Amino acid sequence: MSFSFQQEEDCLVEKCAVFGAFNAGPEAARLAFYGLWALQHRGQESSGIVSSDSERLHRHAAPGLVANAYREEDLEQLPGTIAIGHNRYSTSGAAEGAHSQPVLRSEPQFALAHNGNFPITTAMEAHLKKHGVSCQKLNDSEMMADVIHTFMQNGHDLEQAITRAYPLLEGVFSAVAMTTDTLVAFRDAHGIRPLSIGTLGDGYVVASETCAFDTVGATFLCDVKPGELIVIDKNGLRAEQIVPGNLKLDIFEFVYFARPDSMLLGRSVNEVRQNLGKELAKEWKIDADIVVPVPDSAIPAALGYSRATGIPFEMAIIKNRYIHRTFIRPNAQMRQQDVRMKLNPIPDLLRGKRVVLIDDSIVRGTTTKKIAKLMYDAGAKEVHVLISSPPVAYPDFYGINISDQSELIASYMTPAEIGAHIGADSLGYLSYDGMIRATGMPASTFSTACF
């Protein structure tokens, strides 16, 4: 599963991380554990790992963060030198731990971990019905796994099965899959979600983001190309272009989703985000005393804006890094305190100051409104909100799965109206052209439908 709009969070949330390891050490599952830890930001609902001991596949999955989903004895029950892993962020309203990945199937043994979204499942459903597989309790990732598995049951190996299943996969996927002796990685024709290959010793690792390579000590080798299938087995690594690729990476990977220490399309995410701030500085001249980011994703953009304008940068909002999605849902009264639970202003830095408050996006506007109020309550004289992306005004079912356009404040309010709604002295968005310039790549490289 990929994205959905979370009503309780007022943000766009990334929902999956995938990781794979082949012959990169004697304990592939432990390597996957550390890789998934590095990718925790991409999914916090559940985590799972499947490993191979050359004869059979072993699986462990549990709800919660990576740190809580695995005990030492769990990792000890995942032997072998091949493993895949997955972090999941479920759709709103899904049961805790339901549909955790990797998906494991037997006869023949096969496992799959998927980052993506299938807004259309008609072809998969028809294929599975033809083969006597009920779709009633399956999500899109599980349908994908079962479609591939039907081809394997008809005698095709994993590479052949994915190739034959590919025309039925009408959506977004960056995926890893495995049998007892083979690891594969593959992307949809547009490469909307990232996926990269690294080397570690004589083996290979696969990850949603390159920051995971740094954590496990791997070296970046290449990105999996759109429409490409990478096969890793005892004979090494080989690539097959299943369909022609037409790159359309979701630009929100640069704006918000990816970790700043990752590389996307050969570009530093941190550098691009600083460029977003520099472009903001060209477009929005504000007479202010300090520049303050909404932590953490807006920090590089705020730094870029500060350096371009000369206005001092201040970390005047502190994030409680121990606030995550948990099994205990706060009651209605506590939900009103959600921003104060996560963010706390420093009055000594804000009192009497004219503040440029920088964030990466506005969805409903409720969180931005609360943060602006925090600034005023802490003594800020003025609060000018700048957003390092254009207004998110449209659903993008292949990238950000927002089903109802009315959830997006920019779809029914002008920037001036949004500024008045959030109670700021002013509100400015980065232009579409400014966002594209910050990446250093043409607009045709990206999926930008939400703008």
Catalytic residues: 16
* Cβ pair 423, 440 in contact under 8 A: no
CA–CA dist 432, 440 (Å, integer):
13
The Cα–Cα gap between 65 and 17 comes to 12
d(CA 89, CA 13): 8
Taking alpha carbons only, the member of 25, 256, 2, 220 closest to residue 117 is 2
How far apart are the C-alpha atoms of 343 and 355, rounded to whole Å? Answer: 16
Residue 430 and residue 273 in contact, taking contact as beta carbons nearer than 8 Å:
no
